Structure 1
Amino acid sequence: MTARQTKWHGRIEGAAGRCSVAGCRKAGEFRAPLTPGGFDGPGSWRLLCLDHVREHNSRYNYFAGMSPEEIEAAQAPIAGWERETRAFAAGAGRGPAWRDFTDPLDAIAVRFRPMDAGQDLQRFSARERDALRVLGLKDNADLHAVRKRYSELVRLYHPDRNGGDRGHEKKLGEVLAAWQLLRGAAAFS
């Protein structure tokens, strides 16, 4: 079942009052503003019948009481957009991972602390750097290089590739653990 379409947009269904124009006996079903809305809310309004709301709308002039300069400013294509906004720092980069902090305020403080000239933000945590060393990679490795090296080492140390020899089982476990840690690293997200 479709919703009933009303013929007149803006009609207040079930309005119980009469038109607020003196002498009019029709139902007041449409809102007409008495004062314009602003920061404090929609302003005040009164109920009018269809004939009187049409008359009200035909007399309404948004620009009434404005100077020619104010009218021109209100009609400008960028009217309302001339406020200055805060410039964002170019190349601000990602902040620290939230999981590395127990107190969120510490993470915020680190994110906005000015860096020393020689200081560089570490891309990987200490555990992630250890995992990279297990794979034989440096700190500048990307996820593709990590995945490729992981595949090579699994093929090298897996018992099925070594005739069932389990002598490299410990090294294979380290490679698997390194991959599990690095695949979810924030540096690759």
Structure 2
Amino acid sequence: MASRSPKFHGRVEGAATHCAVPGCTEPGEFRAPLTAPTFDGPGAWQWLCLEHVRQHNARYNYFAGMSTEEIEAAQSPIAGWERGVRAFATGGADPAPPWTDFSDPLEAIRGRFGRGRGPTQAQSRFSGAEKAALGVLGLGDDADLPAVRKAYSVLVRRYHPDRNGGDRTHEAKLRNVIDAWQTLKTASAFA
């Protein structure tokens, strides 16, 4: 049974009884091509000893039979990369929207595969009553609970009669601020 020897790359011990070179009595342990591979198969091989396979490899010329232009093309650092590439199919779908239309990559993916096309409007996390309460406190949709608490505290101090020398003219505004706080402190957006 033939086995590979770790000493020489390509050596197959016990592959052939003799080298294919006439008159050589050394064992044929290295496979060398007789003919170049073709479309129909790998070509013909011969078994050579170490000395004769070295001679065979020294005589081998990859560029034999090529013109100067063919040699330069084969040695080019971009050889094989010049052919055109087929564009990816869209599968019948509309092309994806440009990434520059989005600030968040996940929104871009949603815009491509979601229900709508293009940049989508972010859904507000507040209901209509909660949005109105935020407006009373002078805050926007991006407010968090500490910002709501701070705005509530500032407005209560501003409109409370004890802070205004007993003046009750701002009592309606104070009631609106307190109602806004009552609405927002239990909002599901802050849960």
Sort the TM-score into its range (normalised by shorter chain): 0.3 to 0.5
Larger Rg: 2
